[in-house]
Amino acid sequence: MNYYRRYIGDFQRDTGHLSLTEVGAYDRLLDHYYATEASLPVSLETLCRISRAVTREERDAVQMVADKFFPLVEGERRNKRADKEIAAANSARNNGKKGGNPWVKDHYNEPGFVYAVRGQEERSIKIGITIDPRRRISEHKRYNGCRDTVLVVQVEQMGISEQAILTRFKEYADGEWLTLPSEHEPALLAFMKRMAVPGSVPTNEGESVPERAPGSVGHRPGDGVAKTVHPPTTNHQPPAFNLQEPTTKPPKVKSAGRGSRLPAAWEPDAEQVKFCRQERPDLLPAATAARFRDYWIAQPGAKGVKLDWSATWRNWVRNEKRGANHGQSLADRNRAAGEEAQRRFEEEQRERR
């Protein structure tokens, strides 16, 4: 392995009692363990060569670290945590050789459901496929901040149906997310409904999202019921739903302009700082700006694009929780307070001039 995840909290907890020399020995031995994906040598001399330990103090540190973190198990020096991470990485590597998740690849074009859920932003819509829409949409709402269900339709071929939607609305697509103007949403809903299996009923937030039932199409193997067998397709053609454009297209509305991402080095200007102080005296502008910058820079794709960052800043300030600064560490609060004091001092100096 050329890369492994390092959990800082776990590392500090497990090595907080070690000296600087002992931490260095542990780092060297752990890197070698991951690089070779094999147990460490038993010989102290070999371990010292791996760790570049020369002095008596360094050699003693290597011996202590090896005995504590790489104990002998059936004649081999092993580390349980590292073995677990290596096994997970090998599993992901093998899946990658098969083209990703093997189950998803094998069942990509089986019968199932196509869904559209609304993200945190009004215009953001996530398009996805699943055989269990109730569970999948619940996960999106719980972990991804999605707000409501736009539409769920049952289809004969999940993968082709999803790609048809993303191709039809490709000018608004970023991966599986659509940044769709509100006037085009009816076109999306109509397009999805034309894909629906004859006799099925599309559902939305105001109705009950369908739940996978025994004997339903698209059942995942191992669910405890017999899997419905569907005849394989040989011509690789899309299912027989109508993909033609509706006869009446929604009128094109001139875009208000392209949005932009927040610059990595963004800092609030004087007017924005003044607004924060006046609107929310309980907030430290410097700390609030740091949270604002880190949040929006980390947003992927269209979610991190805004037309007016000044307006976004004002909304952020208004919506900040009361006592937001108290969740920070003492060092962070002191640093933010110092930066705020320095900013005010510089402003006073400019006014006096």
Say which residue, 43 or 96, is predicted with more confidence.
Answer: 43
**Residue 138 pLDDT exceeds 90:** no
Q: Is 150 in a helix, a strand, or coil?
A: strand
Range with the poorest average pLDDT among 84-88, 218-222, 334-338: 218-222
The predicted model gives 310-334 an average pLDDT of 74
pLDDT at 3: 80
The predicted model gives 333-351 an average pLDDT of 69
pLDDT at 217: 43
Cα-flanking dihedrals φ and ψ of residue 178, to 5°? -115, 130
pLDDT at 100: 53
pLDDT band at residue 195 using 50, 70 and 90 as cut-offs: confident
pLDDT at 223: 40
| Beta bridge partners of residue 130, listed in sequence order | 113
**Residue 250 pLDDT exceeds 90:** no
For residue 303, what are its two tokens?
């979610």
**Residue 258 pLDDT exceeds 50:** yes
pLDDT at 11: 87
Contacts of 22 (CB under 8 A, 6+ apart): 15, 61, 64, 65
Whether domain 105-193 has CATH 3.40.1440: the reply is: yes
pLDDT at 61: 95
pLDDT at 228: 36
